[in-house]
Amino acid sequence: MSLALIDYGAGNLHSVHNALKAAGATDAVIAADADAVARADRIVLPGVGAFGACAAALRAVPGMIEALEQRVRIEGAPFLGICVGMQLMAETGEEHGVHQGLGWMQGTVALLEPADPAAKVPHMGWNDVTAPLPHALIEPGEAYFLHSYAYRGRDVIATTDHAGAVTAAIGRDNMLGVQFHPEKSQRYGLALLERFLAWRP
């Protein structure tokens, strides 16, 4: 069973790749072209940086958006978005202007605005993940976060607290996105990746 880790110049690929291998993904390949994604049984979209730049970089790969739509939305391949990879699942992102996302989740990505001015932005470090709704992949625990923008909208399946509730994970059907970094979240992150590798949505 193959796993495609998408390389579009906007993710910390090697640390995510190493974490996937540590979780048991012996068949994980770094995929820089649409054909590799179209053939994959599972797909992981990492992302580090600004929403607009990441969205543009993903769209710049010939056929990538079409391959993702076909494989994930139509054929139902399990999908995991990480950090900005999760944010790109939204309709829009508001970092340095309004930018179009993949539109898979009904929501937008906006600047974090903690209720307490003492809560710093970016939100950086370890924080609890709370899952009010049961999901096959998300369990309560502690994960590593690093972000200044957060998802607001539907299909939120886990939150964290940063002077107010902040989206930690979104999900529907065969699609999951996490704001935290599994590859930096030690045992909690590896356990999540293990569950993703075994997931049969």
Q: What angle do CA 158, 162, 168 make, to 5 degrees?
A: 20
User: From CA 141, how far away is CA 49, in angstroms rounded?
Assistant: 25
CB contact set of 85 (below 8 Å; sequence gap of 6+): 6, 11, 44, 45, 46, 47, 54, 177
Select from 6, 32, 1 the least CA-distant residue to 17. 6
- Asked if 181 is an active-site residue, the reply is yes
From the candidates 17, 95, 123, 183, which is the catalytic residue? 183
From the candidates 17, 54, 83, 123, which is the catalytic residue? 83
The sheet that has 105-111: what strands, in order across it? Answer: 99-100, 90-93, 105-111, 149-153
From the candidates 123, 147, 162, 181, which is the catalytic residue? 181
- Asked if 147 is an active-site residue, the reply is no
Q: How many CA atoms, within 13 angstroms, populate the side-chain half-sphere of residue 170?
A: 26
| Residues marked as catalytic | 83, 181, 183
